[in-house]
Amino acid sequence: MFFRGFSSLLISAPLALHVRAASIGSSSAVVKLSYGSFEGRATGNLLEFFGIPFAAPPVGDLRFAPPVKPRAFKGVRQATAFAPACPQQKFDLDVPGLVIPENVSEDCLYLNVIKPANIPAGKKLPVLFVEFEVGDTSQIVGDTLVNRSITLGEPIVYVTASYRINAFGFLGGKEVKDAGIANAGLLDQRFALEWVQKYVGLFGGDAKKVTIWGISAGGISVGLQMLLNDGNTQGLFHRASMGSGSPGVLPDVLKQQEYFDSLVTDTNCTTARDRLKCLRDAPFDDLMEAINRTPNLFSFQSVRIAWQPMVDGKTIVRDPQISLQTGKYAKIPTIVGTSEDEGTIFSLSTTNLTTNAQFLDYAKSNFFPRISDSDLNALETLYPDDITQGSPFNTGTENAITPQFKRLSALQGDLVFQSPRRSFSQIASKTQPVYGYRFKRAGPAPLGSLHGGDLLEWIGNTTGLIGADAIIYFTRIGNPNASKNSISLLKDAKWPLYGSSVQNPPLFTFVDPLPSVNITFDTDRIEPMKLISKLSFNEIGNRGV
């Protein structure tokens, strides 16, 4: 009963995602794969291919199941429009600016490729594989990044892939464990990475230089991919970047039985001999309605939601924190960072909590049900009933929409985002290059530097393009720093290694006004996060995993 904020984590709530409709370009290109040919389009300096299936439609007997190869076809299919998004769970709260796609389908395992139009024959470009999960993960604009990479003289190939979320991708329970089909959403991501290894060369990409990048749930996905197979990447990727999401403590698959049972009840499958088969046979609309009745990010439970990765003993063999502490993770160059006020947006659903007693009861019942009285007292002290100490941080008495809002925001931000980020950074920086960052540019009141507020910085929609340039250079060379002769502003802003100082780990920090950056240190809230880490780890032991 701890971190459960995965399958619907937002990329950017008050910032609408920039998704442009596909239009027919002035020319086209055809790529022939082993299972069929696809015709993309030329747009300026780019060739774009949208809606390429990387797996068979996960419907019928394949609902909830691991992905399988796409079906072969003859002829040439158009790849000039985005495929439908994977089905999205509805939220209990109306969040202004949040984009939820209307065009959804269970048949959603598709990817997109954007590449420079003029790649010299025989030359292969580094690949940026993106795992964003909001609306349609595949529809995050990549043309700005690829065009910028061309301008820098550091061209890349950009790939995005959708994966199943909520119950379609993360169904739990005994029946699921017995069938060996847990964490299908993570397996979708892995399957797409296998597709990249097999086919990206046909698009001019270098399969030996693949960077995986994600923000929010996508960031957590990246971290989990680094932990699968005890850290053996199987050559699928070679660098990683996690934003606003690192692997935290996960529930055991059997602990998710209550949500499986709720779907069974709400789809009239309670008397079925094979309840899993009944759920697979249930009409899509009935199943979706049942999923929408389960807790989401803007239910009172907030980040303790129903659908997320689970420790199943097969795909995720042990808790991520144990894998990290025992060195079972990929030893590759990594970027990892967060926004300053990660927890604010997820505290909008708990504004009815207004007293110290309610705060403590919520923390115990929702996150730490086994917490001792002494640890609960420590939690009360380290997360004080003082609005000037809460999140948005360093804003005094401002943004206190309720007496406990900023306090809850600080707790949830540390629990789900800051503490896992710090833990990962401290451990991994001993074995590989780790570059840490912090995003402190102000967002809308009362949310501060909110979760996902840095998205536009990374995709190249802000003045200065520092974030975009950093991810391009990282994709190219495994280091976010620009070369001395670069046209990028990065050349004047050194991004140090997190492990360059044990006592004062440096964080490359995005601050106001644009495009300012500086260096801060990962030394804030040390004691509160030590307690959070301890409490989370204790829950693993109490669970017996």
DSSP for 112-156, please give it: EEEEES-PPTT--EEEEEEEE-SS-GGGS--HHHHHHHHHHT---
* pTM of the predicted model as reported, rounded to 2 decimal places: 0.93
* pLDDT for res 140: 61
Tell me the pLDDT of the chain averaged across its residues. Answer: 92
For every residue of 478-512, DSSP letters joined together read S--PPPTT-SSGGGGS----GGG-SSS-EEEEE-S
| Residue 282, both tokens | 């249930």
Q: Which of 106, 342, 457, 539 is catalytic?
A: 342
* pLDDT for res 232: 98
End-to-end CA distance of the chain: 13
| Residue 433, both tokens | 């290059």
CB 539 within 8 Å of CB 249: yes
Mind listing the domains of the chain with CATH numbers? 30-254+300-339+415-521 (3.40.50.1820)
CB 412 within 8 Å of CB 529: no
The secondary structure of residue 93, as a DSSP letter, is S
18 is catalytic: no
**What pLDDT digit, counting tens, does each position of 206-246 carry?**
999 999 999 999 999 999 999 999 999 999 999 999 999 99
CB 364 within 8 Å of CB 378: no
| Residue 371, both tokens | 């917490």
Alpha-carbon torsion, ordered 311, 312, 317, 318, to 10 deg: 30
Instruction: Assign 463 a pLDDT band (cuts: 50, 70, 90).
Output: confident
Higher pLDDT, 461 or 37: 37
Calculate mean pLDDT across residues 480-487: 95
Say yes or no to pLDDT of 136 above 60. no
Instruction: Assign 94 a pLDDT band (cuts: 50, 70, 90).
Output: confident
Q: Which of 451, 457, 488, 533 is catalytic?
A: 451
Asked if the bond preceding 513 is cis, omega within 30° of 0, the reply is yes
* pLDDT for res 488: 96
Give me the half-sphere count of Cα atoms (radius 13 Å) on the Cβ side of residue 41: 16
* pLDDT for res 100: 74
* pLDDT for res 12: 31
Calculate mean pLDDT across residues 351-356: 98
Q: Give the integer Cα–Cα distance in Å for 86 and 138.
A: 10
106 is catalytic: no
451 is catalytic: yes
Instruction: Assign 2 a pLDDT band (cuts: 50, 70, 90).
Output: very low
* pLDDT for res 121: 86
Calculate mean pLDDT across residues 507-519: 97
Q: Which of 12, 162, 216, 536 is catalytic?
A: 216
Say yes or no to pLDDT of 28 above 70. no
Calculate mean pLDDT across residues 160-164: 96
Q: Give the integer Cα–Cα distance in Å for 395 and 410.
A: 13
Nearest Cα to 150, choosing from 427, 487, 402? 487
* pLDDT for res 10: 41
* pLDDT for res 210: 99
**Strands (E) located in 279-396:** 334-339
CB 196 within 8 Å of CB 189: no
